[in-house]
Structure 1
Amino acid sequence: MSKSYDVKTVVLRKNIELEEATEIIEEKKTNPFKSLLSRPKKEQVHIHSVKLYYECILLVSGKYVADYYRKATHTISVPYNVKEVELGDGVFQTRSKSGFEKALTGKKGKNKIDINLEEHVFVKEEDELAFDHHGREIKFPFKVNSDTVENYPKRLLQKNEPNVKRPEITYDAALEKLQSQLKKPLETDVRELSEEFVLREITELYVPIFEGRLIGPKKKVEIIRIDAVRKKIL
């Protein structure tokens, strides 16, 4: 069973109305029926209907934090006449040079010492993912501020039911994808791992979309979709 979440609801404001959307569809109505060899005449394509829908884009944001120890090897350079280094209770010998390294650096080239130690690592990753109403991950294309959103989103959605397309992906599934993106694979040899995923926000953002249902030659049916925010054919 899905957990209970506080979800913010946002509706973007239309920048075109039904009349302008219908004019755009009328101008472009033959496009869905064209092929490499032919395109129907405008009088062969009929606009059956134009309807306004509100389609959800689901936005999820959060952060992943982790704290752990991992084994590591750090290499330092020392003067040519240093044979070993004492660090704490450890003694670290210089690395043997290959014949190529000796030829390259000469007799007085720097010596290398590999020091095996543990690193205390702190990780913090933050991000936001957007999904269309089918649950496909998308790049979020809109600006959201007081000038671009409706004042009473829930009331507007209730008024437009059943032309509201709710998210098909669950909140749990969307958050699982976000967490998977934030959590990078850890090294195999770690200890005292402490990790946490922190949810920042879940937003259902509804985009007004005009859909024109077209009937063309041989009663073939096609759809033209217009983003009513950006006045863009999708």
Structure 2
Amino acid sequence: MSKKLEVKTIVLKKTIKEQDASVIIEDKKTSLFKKLLKKPKREDVHVHSLNLYYECMLTVSGKYIADYYRKATHTISVDSNVQEIVFGDGVFPIRSKSTLQKAFTVARSKNKVDLQLEEHVFIEEENELVFDHHGTETKFPYKINSKTIENYPQRLLEENLSNVKKPETTHDAAVEKLKAFLKKPMDPDVRKLTEEFVLKEIAEVYVPVFEARLIGPNKKIGLLRIDAVRNKIL
């Protein structure tokens, strides 16, 4: 990792209670066992357990900076009677035309000159990547402010340690993916390359999720998950 940072720990506040989740689950539980567009009877589906989990979303943000020279061709137009141009110590002839091009060229049309030059390039790319607790890249749909986060995140996680789902990817692996995302492919003819990666922030954002284990017809098992922040079935 380019730079060691203290990892921020954030826990989002629930917007629904367990009783609210139970009502939603009772209403939606038969949909998990629908077969050929037919749902089982409500009494044939039982809620075995309902637990609140805190699932980690890992966010990494940073900036990639590069400074280098690269070869480039710049084409300019010159008058029809110009055969070459002199630029510094270089002499650049006009672009040759094929027989077909000459046949369709309008009299006194412009000639083209290709200048083989070098460009001095400076790149600065800044962005953020977000991973769910399985390590899959995803979007971050939540707002982070004083009203949406818990005041004592570490204490809350420690009190619910058995129900905390830590990230399955490492911080270093997430940072390497961010580096690869920010660093665009370069031309092979590059010289005097200086580059730097600045890691700005690593954060573990824990999302409260109600998860119900359901038992349906023929003892089939189903899971119904509710995002307790957005009040949304996952």
TM score, norm. by length of structure 1: 0.96
Is contact 1:2-1:171 (8 Å) kept? no
Q: Aligned-pair distance for 1:39?
A: 1.9
Question: 2:38 aligned with 1:49, yes or no?
Answer: no
**Counterparts of 1:123-162 in structure 2 under 5 Å?**
123-162=123-162
1:88-99 map, 5 Å: 88-99=88-99
Partner of 1:203: 203
Residues 116 and 22 of structure 1: is their aligned pair in 2 closer, same or farther, counting only changes over 3 Å?
A: same
Q: Where in structure 1 are there 5+ consecutive unaligned residues? A: none
CA positional deviation for 1:101:
3.1
Coordinate RMSD, CA, aligned: 1.6
Contact 2:5 2:201 in 1 (8 A): no
User: Is the contact between residue 2 and residue 172 of structure 1 (CA under 8 Å) also seen in structure 2?
Assistant: no
Aligned mates of 1:96, 1:3 — CA distance in 2:
53
Equivalent residue runs for 1:5-44 within 5 Å: 5-44=5-44
Aligned partner of 1:14: which letter?
A: K
Query: Following TM superposition, by how much is the alpha carbon of 1:37 offset from its aligned partner in structure 2, in angstroms?
Result: 4.9
Q: Could you tell me whether the CA contact under 8 Å between 1:29 and 1:45 is conserved in 2?
A: yes
Q: Secondary structure at the match of 2:154?
A: helix
Aligned counterparts of 1:5 and 1:223: Cα–Cα separation in 2: 37
Give the match's secondary structure for 2:162: coil
Please say if 1:63 is aligned against 2:63.
Answer: yes
Q: Is the 8 A contact 2:2 2:198 kept in 1?
A: no
- What is the total number of aligned residue pairs between the two structures? 234
**Alignment partner, residue 82 of structure 1:** 82
> Which aligned segments of 4 or more residues in structure 1 are displaced greater than 4 angstroms?
1-4
**What's 2:121 paired with?**
121
Give the percent of matched residue pairs that are identical in Structure 1 and Structure 2. Answer: 65
Unmatched 5+ stretches in structure 2: none
Q: CA deviation at 1:105?
A: 3.7
